[in-house]
Structure 1
């Protein structure tokens, strides 16, 4: 198709780049695909092509009562440059077509099919995978031609949404490839709206190790024309200087609001609330909230309360430690006074009391000496190093020790540690371990 080749050459594209993106041409006819797939009158052939979005079927009926309805089937894409849309595996799942001459629509996409969904597909992602990893960022554009032209001009890490707003699924796909995303939009009002939708899609998926920026080109330029006019180094520079996510957040929240008035600041809070609520509780959200509080003459606490971001402390779970053996009284404060159940306990060194939560009993003291030996060794591992070989062997066999050997080993351990003491048992009960005096 000479017209198609001349058009692509006029856009500065080489045969190599056209081959890489598998660019093609749909001839100007109504039944061009019949030459490949067979007659459209064959319902099986037509069904496959209709499901794939390659055919359009219109129902025409006569005005006469009882007249038979006839179906007209014709090609969806006619006289257009064709851009195959591939999934991450490189399989073609849809097409985009750009008209060669004047006419509408300028770009035409495949309809939603069982294989193709615009909200879950990015043009050029399959071709750009390696370049994205090498460049460590992805550039998101608005059109097919931007992607192909940028690849020709030295920016092969570009992808494009398919005539639809950026979705959360788009962002997830990109973040699987890289931690840095730069969205490129036209500087007009439509570009601003598209950028805001991209921001809203990104906020719920943000984390502190991700970086997202927004690039707004002059209204008279798209990425292709900007690079051709100012050169690749100039385009690299504006990419590096693109607006950060937080800066764009503040711009969206405060646009058309006068921050010098209470009303304007309140309206800014109102605009920022759904954006803040959509973010996970990460450090970036905290920083944005603090900065927004400064700009609106508020405090972070006031802004948190307004947005409903303040999280009430979790209630303390009250646990009962009582059982038939009543072992808890032995694991309480010691210090020369009476050992009373429920009293706070304190460490022997420093004499600093540990605040005990009201109505919560301290942990149970195990009555089995072998178990206590193991607990002492876990809490004070240096004691195990001080044991001789025989006693270390006894400690390893603690579960099999009888009371006499266990008591001897326990006394030896506690003699080396001034943080705990052996408390004699009362009324025939075995001794236990408590806090040292």
Structure 2
């Protein structure tokens, strides 16, 4: 049976909550007339446009139009889920949630898995300091990871036990079942096995610091070198970001994000005081991640590894980001030398040079035209036509009117067109070409 929190209790909770006190405890506010104002915590701005009404117990931003009540604020600002926000407000108001209706069944199952992963993570963290596992610490030191980082990122080590004994399973049946559900253990021909034997363990946390899954690095040349938790109810590889919890923890306001590929990249950057770095789990970027990142901040800087896969990933990232580039959003790219990643290049060049790489990151507009011009030399009308159709189709995907205007202006200059309005002819031609192709298919 699924349980819900009674609506009457939620309404009573909101009535007893002073939204002004709640928000003022999180951000700086100033009273102007009846309402309170602040710099909006959900988008970058210089003039305060975020208003809080005591009378309505409601907040509204005149800049980005975000709005809501006390529950909405905790969900959006503290990154809590609905149940967690109710628990937080209940605690602040000294109110008890009706016991028989506290949780959804789904939420209970997820909490159970989170608790299991937290328990096993603590076990991994203890393992790393055991004498028999000193090779793990030795390896981390070899990679330049210091003691503080080991604790900050809760790094651990999975021991050399490959198969779980039947006696242990019998005594810890529920715990073992949860470890199987969370992907730590797996069953093969009635033998329960450890998925991450002899691997360095990197917990992948959500915004509340709860562990969704693990990334694991072999130190004995096992294949694959890196292994992630399998897909579970709380872990989806395409939806998770490594280092996001730590980034929120060490930044009052996130102004920019540096997106890299590896766990060691994030940790090395943090050690060098670049505490706004996160890692996607592999080079597989997707629209959900793009939207999530732009919701966190307006400036995204991608730094993929300096190999062919990294270059392909950069272009793919640019293409799928276009529909989410508003005028306030900035998208940039760092291209490292072949065979290098942030971890390796910092050790070779030093952090000062890497910071210069961040400073001189390639803007989206420059990469867009550089890539398109590489395939078209514009030496004849046919090349210009092909180039313009491709470029316009990509520019039109961008919702930001100002950035779209300037991109069209750059395109016009490259084509030798002085008036931007003349580019509309190319747009019309492109539509005609597409429609004629569709007609041909129908005739066939």
Q: 2:377 matched to 1:258? A: yes
How far did residue 109 of structure 1 move?
0.8
Q: In structure 2, do the counterparts of structure 1 residues 136 and 46 end up closer, same or farther at CA, with 3 Å as the change threshold? A: same
Q: 1:97·1:108 contact (CA, 8 Å) conserved in 2?
A: yes
Q: In structure 2, do the counterparts of structure 1 residues 72 and 293 end up closer, same or farther at CA, with 3 Å as the change threshold? A: farther
1:21 corresponds to: 153
1:294 corresponds to: 413
CA distance in 2, matches of 1:282, 1:45: 54
Q: 1:218 aligns with which of 337, 345, 351?
A: 337
Q: In structure 2, do the counterparts of structure 1 residues 41 and 277 end up closer, same or farther at CA, with 3 Å as the change threshold? A: farther
Q: 2:233 matched to 1:114? A: yes
Q: 2:289 aligns with which of 170, 173, 186?
A: 170
Q: 1:40·1:46 contact (CA, 8 Å) conserved in 2?
A: no
CA distance in 1, matches of 2:158, 2:134: 12
How far did residue 17 of structure 1 move?
0.7
SS at match of 2:332: strand
Q: 1:254·1:271 contact (CA, 8 Å) conserved in 2?
A: no
TM (normalized to structure 2)?
0.61
Q: 2:303·2:334 contact (CA, 8 Å) conserved in 1?
A: yes
RMSD across aligned positions (CA): 2.8
Q: C-alpha deviations, 1:267-291, integer Å up to 9, x for none? A: 3234334422321152101211221
1:85 corresponds to: 204
Q: 2:327·2:402 contact (CA, 8 Å) conserved in 1?
A: yes
Q: C-alpha deviations, 1:197-238, integer Å up to 9, x for none? A: 221232111111122210001113211122222222211111
The within-5 A match list for 1:327-406 is none
Name which one, 1 or 2, has greater alpha-carbon Rg. Answer: 1
CA distance in 1, matches of 2:251, 2:316: 23
Q: In structure 2, do the counterparts of structure 1 residues 281 and 230 end up closer, same or farther at CA, with 3 Å as the change threshold? A: closer
Q: 2:167 matched to 1:48? A: no
* Structure (1 or 2) with the greater helix fraction: 2
Q: 1:235 aligns with which of 354, 358, 367?
A: 354
How far did residue 72 of structure 1 move?
3.8
Q: In structure 2, do the counterparts of structure 1 residues 200 and 9 end up closer, same or farther at CA, with 3 Å as the change threshold? A: same
Q: 2:248·2:254 contact (CA, 8 Å) conserved in 1?
A: no
Corresponding pairs, count? 298
CA distance in 2, matches of 1:274, 1:109: 37
Q: 1:138·1:181 contact (CA, 8 Å) conserved in 2?
A: yes
How far did residue 307 of structure 1 move?
3.9
How far did residue 117 of structure 1 move?
1.3
Q: In structure 2, do the counterparts of structure 1 residues 296 and 104 end up closer, same or farther at CA, with 3 Å as the change threshold? A: farther
Q: 2:260 aligns with which of 94, 116, 141?
A: 141
Unaligned segments of structure 1, at least 5 residues? 59-69, 312-437
CA distance in 2, matches of 1:102, 1:261: 54
TM (normalized to structure 1)?
0.62
How far did residue 164 of structure 1 move?
4.0
Q: 2:293 matched to 1:161? A: no
CA distance in 2, matches of 1:40, 1:307: 69
